[in-house]
Amino acid sequence: MPERKRLTLKDLAAEIDVHYSTVSRVMNPATRHLVAQDVAARILEVAEARGFRPNRIAAGLRTQRSGLVGVVLPDIANPVFPPILAGIESVLAQKGYVPIVVNAGTDKSRQRFIIDQMIGRQVEGLVLATAEREDAVLDYCIRQHIPVVTVNRGEETGRVSCVVSDNLLAMRLTVDHLVGLGHRHIAHIAGPAALSTGFLRREGFVQAVRRHRLRRDAWHVIEAASYSREAGKLACAQLLEAFPAVTAIAAGNDLVAMGCYDLLRERGLDCPADISVVGHNDMPFADALTPPLTTVRIAVHEMGEEAARLLLRQIDKPGSDAVTVQLTPQLIVRGSTAAPRDDAP
């Protein structure tokens, strides 16, 4: 049986008796508003009935616009990233763009491979959630002259636009809360210093304990190997050995805080009676943990929305100045923090 000929824009336009450019505008969500609503509705109705699908490859060759945006994540299993992605998608959809999402991990050679593959597929821009403070892959993207925005993490030079949460303020809110409860022996399990989040949260913690004039031997910082539950448990074990007087822990993120829960439970210690724990991000179901986790809520959906807007601006206006959008975090107090025991040091 001969293959059925693919229905084209011109075929559809002839059937409806409109110019093919009108059909083209209606098939693109970003330009559909340029056509009268009744005409657009008629075109969409006939297109659906005839099973018409625009040939995006041909359109891309003609217009040099693919309508695709690459989104590169370091760990899609980390609960912070799905709502960021949802925010990105919601803004891109309004302009007719579709994201290509890849879970790239932390290996720089794999990230570089993924970037090359996306550029080869003519993505119009990139949103990177993988950026480090000094990042060779980001340097490569800049050399390729492709629009790029970082989200949740920034880089040192300010060459590209980024959307981040105010990590310094977040740690000040955390330490203020713990000191207000009466804690005087406080520790921070930091994320990797190569990441802006790890570096800035550590800086924010140190600034905050110094602001409260805590003695140097009354606070301690240890770095987790990654933002994971397993790394958090290992770092917590190292912390208790190095700083046994600790009564409160400010964790680098909620997964690290869960690792602290695991270690404390294994050691027969109660949270918060023996040691209070504060997380960071307010991941889904943090309130369902036992005890419910006190944590810093960051505006993850808004973060994704802002990143998409910045990228679309850069696509439309190449050469636009880099912009840093810093969102305000909020401390959410739950059951994992309480005043220290009366006999605590």
Task: Please write the tens of the pLDDT for every residue from 117-128.
Answer: 998 888 999 999
**Could you tell me if 191 and 207 lie in one domain?**
yes
- Pairwise CA distance, residues 127 & 122, whole Å: 14
**Could you tell me if 135 and 148 lie in one domain?**
yes
**Could you tell me if 184 and 263 lie in one domain?**
yes
213-to-206, 208, 216, 246 alpha-carbon distances in Å: 11, 9, 9, 17
What does pLDDT average to over the chain?
90
Closest CA to 77 of 249, 230, 245: 230
pLDDT band of 61, cuts 50, 70, 90: very low
Q: Work out the angle at residue 312's Cα, subtended by the Cα atoms of residues 307 and 315, and round it to the nearest 5 degrees.
A: 130
Identify whether 1 is part of a domain. no
Per-residue DSSP letter, 18: S
- What pLDDT sits at residue 2? 42
**Could you tell me if 190 and 239 lie in one domain?**
yes
Average pLDDT over residues 56-79: 74
Higher pLDDT, 78 or 239: 239
Enter the pTM of the model.
Answer: 0.80
Q: Which of 18, 47, 62 is where one domain is finished?
A: 62
**Could you tell me if 15 and 78 lie in one domain?**
no
**Could you tell me if 185 and 293 lie in one domain?**
yes
**Could you tell me if 159 and 112 lie in one domain?**
yes
- What pLDDT sits at residue 106? 86
Average pLDDT over residues 273-301: 96
The domain spanning residue 206 has which CATH number?
A: 3.40.50.2300
**What range defines the domain where residue 238 resides?**
167-298
**Could you tell me if 115 and 153 lie in one domain?**
yes
Identify whether 111 is part of a domain. yes
- What pLDDT sits at residue 15? 79
CA dihedral 201, 206, 209, 211 (to 10 degrees): -100
**Could you tell me if 106 and 191 lie in one domain?**
no
Identify whether 281 is part of a domain. yes
**Could you tell me if 193 and 281 lie in one domain?**
yes
Identify whether 183 is part of a domain. yes
**Could you tell me if 145 and 256 lie in one domain?**
no
- What pLDDT sits at residue 43? 81
**Could you tell me if 136 and 91 lie in one domain?**
yes
pLDDT band of 54, cuts 50, 70, 90: low
Cα-flanking dihedrals φ and ψ of residue 219, to 5°? -140, 160
Identify whether 240 is part of a domain. yes
- What pLDDT sits at residue 42? 83
Cα-flanking dihedrals φ and ψ of residue 86, to 5°? -60, -40
Beta bridge partners of 250: 188, 278
Identify whether 294 is part of a domain. yes
Closest CA to 85 of 285, 303, 311, 283: 303
Strands 125-128 and 68-73: parallel
Q: Which of 18, 45, 62 is where one domain is finished?
A: 62
Beta bridge partners of 128: 72, 150
- Pairwise CA distance, residues 26 & 34, whole Å: 8
Cis before 244 (ω within 30): no
Per-residue model confidence as pLDDT tens digits over 191-237:
999 999 999 999 999 999 999 999 999 999 999 999 999 999 999 99
- What pLDDT sits at residue 3? 46
Per-residue model confidence as pLDDT tens digits over 169-202:
999 999 999 999 999 999 999 999 999 999 999 9
Identify whether 343 is part of a domain. no
Question: Per-residue pLDDT for 297 more than 80?
Answer: yes
DSSP 294-311: BEEE--HHHHHHHHHHHH
Identify whether 342 is part of a domain. no
The domain spanning residue 17 has which CATH number?
A: 1.10.260.40
- What pLDDT sits at residue 345? 64
Count of structural domains within the chain: 3
Average pLDDT over residues 99-105: 92
Beta bridge partners of 70: 100, 126
Q: Which of 44, 62, 80 is where one domain is finished?
A: 62
Question: Per-residue pLDDT for 33 more than 80?
Answer: no
